[in-house]
Amino acid sequence: MHRHAIRHAGIVAYPEGHPKIDSETLWRALKWKVGFLQDAGCSVEITTQFGFDADAVVQWMERLRQEGIDAPVRIGVPGPTDVGKLLRFAKQFGVVTSAAIARRYGLSMVNLLQRVGPERYWDRLAAGMSGRNLGTVLYHLYPFGGIMEGVRWMNGRMPSHYSMPPTEA
């Protein structure tokens, strides 16, 4: 890594699992990548796939820290969009959806044009992480409904010290 002047690397993770890769293989690969990069002198940051099951993300974060991985984590948050588009992206990106998780997220399989935001996911995630020492946790917005709408949504949820000042649209 030094000969290429790489000092920081970002890697991806799947807190809710992946339909084509078993959980222990995902953990083994993640630990190997983090160890390899750190041994090479790189700082590491992990960005997660977006998801629907906040409880699974919190459990994954707890295990990550128990495994001794203290890298900052950017939790993937799906931005506001319509149900049909969100489900298409979920399928394309390997995000597992079940009827129960879809209902918890507020998705209606009847009306695929219905607009949804991640309010339920966000609130459940915040509640699950509250009071736990999970290290540095940041967020990564997947703006399926468009950049401006997604940024407005995210800025409305972030503490004021994270928010950018409003700009003219």
| CATH code assigned at 128 | 3.20.20.220
Write down the pLDDT at residue 160.
Answer: 52
Please give the Cα distance from 109 to 168 (Å, whole number): 36
pLDDT per residue of the chain (169 residues) written in tens, 0 to 9? 556 688 999 999 999 888 889 999 999 999 999 999 999 999 999 999 888 888 999 999 999 999 999 999 999 988 887 777 767 766 666 665 555 556 666 655 555 555 566 778 888 899 999 999 999 999 998 887 688 888 888 888 776 544 434 444 4
Give the CA dihedral 152, 156, 160, 163, nearest 10 degrees: -20
Position 164 in a domain: no
Position 125 in a domain: yes
Q: Give the closest residue to 49 by CA, choosing from 79, 12, 23, 8.
A: 12
Write down the pLDDT at residue 30.
Answer: 97
* H helices present in 40-158, as ranges: 54-66, 83-93, 99-105, 119-129, 147-157
Position 152 in a domain: no
User: Can you read off the two tokens belonging to residue 81?
Assistant: 């969009």
Residue 151, amino acid: V
Position 166 in a domain: no
User: Can you read off the two tokens belonging to residue 26?
Assistant: 């995902």
pTM to 2 decimals? 0.78
Write down the pLDDT at residue 96.
Answer: 58
Write down the pLDDT at residue 34.
Answer: 97
Structural domains of the chain, count:
1
Q: Give the closest residue to 53 by CA, choosing from 85, 75, 70.
A: 75
Instruction: List C-alpha distances in Å: 96 to 14, 35, 146.
Output: 10, 28, 23
Number of alpha carbons in the 13 Å side-chain half-sphere of residue 18? 17
Position 163 in a domain: no
Position 158 in a domain: no
Position 52 in a domain: yes
> Which structural domain, as residue segments, surrounds residue 16?
2-147
* Residue 38: Cβ within 10 Å count: 14
Position 28 in a domain: yes
Burial of 19 (0-12, 13-18, 19+ CB in 10 A): exposed
